[in-house]
Amino acid sequence: GQNIDQPTEMTATEGAIVQINCTYQTSGFNGLFWYQQHAGEAPTFLSYNVLDGLEEKGRFSSFLSRSKGYSYLLLKELQMKDSASYLCAVRDQTGANNLFFGTGTRLTVIP
Amino acid sequence: GAVVSQHPSRVICKSGTSVKIECRSLDFQATTMFWYRQFPKQSLMLMATSNEGSKATYEQGVEKDKFLINHASLTLSTLTVTSAHPEDSSFYICSALRGGPSATQYFGPGTRLTVL
């Protein structure tokens, strides 16, 4: 089976940096995705990691360690609009590009 | 970009009726689309994988006769909720798979279904 864990909720201050962790245990691995989802809206793609290391994209960075089954999403210079749920999803190598989602981390940015 | 549309965005129907939801990839072709359901404050649950020109693959516990999926073209997949009941009320989201090295899923805006 697949097991993907994320913290349920986090709070951070505007302008600060926050790190959202994700650990996974899957039967296969073919990439890890991070999505942002605002309440009542569909997820939007943020990042993709398939090799170990850090991928940086503007204020957002994502890190992967396959040996540890671990990833994190790093958000810098937090803005109020960053308040959203952040979903970690793993692609199962044996599936037809199926994604298995964690429960998501609800981030609240406060002034 | 990679734009996926979904229609309708919101639907309210009576118990026992059927509802069709359309998912379109607007600027790329998608041989594979996915249908998810999301209950409040929960994550996305994959219902089925829609394959262009062939039968959909359903996840365990999802009734194929209740949730009919048709993927008639490379840009359109439809989900029909047949004989809807109040427990089917949920947020239904489709995604389209865009090929390439990362083969990323791009999501539609979702359909909020309320069954009275």
The chain A residue lying nearest B109, using CA atoms, is: A42
Q: Are A90 and A66 in contact (CB under 8 A)?
A: no
Q: Are B69 and B78 in contact (CB under 8 A)?
A: yes
User: Residue B25 forms beta bridges with which residues?
Assistant: B4
A15 burial type by CB count under 10 A (0-12 exposed, 13-18 middle, 19+ buried): exposed
Rounded to a whole number of angstroms, the distance from the CA of B100 to the nearest CA of chain A is: 12
Which site among B35, B104, B112 would you substitute to test the A interface, given the most A Cβ atoms closer than 10 Å to its Cβ?
A: B104
A109 burial type by CB count under 10 A (0-12 exposed, 13-18 middle, 19+ buried): buried
Q: Are B33 and B25 in contact (CB under 8 A)?
A: yes
Residues of chain B by 3-state class (helix, strand, coil), percent to 5: 5, 55, 45
pLDDT tens per residue, range A56-106: 989 999 999 999 999 999 999 999 999 999 999 999 876 667 888 988 999
Which site among A24, A36, A97 would you substitute to test the B interface, given the most B Cβ atoms closer than 10 Å to its Cβ?
A: A97
Residue A67 CA to residue A65 CA, distance in Å, equals 6
Question: Is B105 an interface residue toward A (CB < 8 Å)?
Answer: yes
Q: Are A3 and A92 in contact (CB under 8 A)?
A: no
Mean pLDDT by 10 residues, chain B (116 residues): 90 96 93 91 88 89 94 92 96 90 87 96
Question: Is B85 an interface residue toward A (CB < 8 Å)?
Answer: no
Q: What is the pLDDT of residue A24?
A: 95
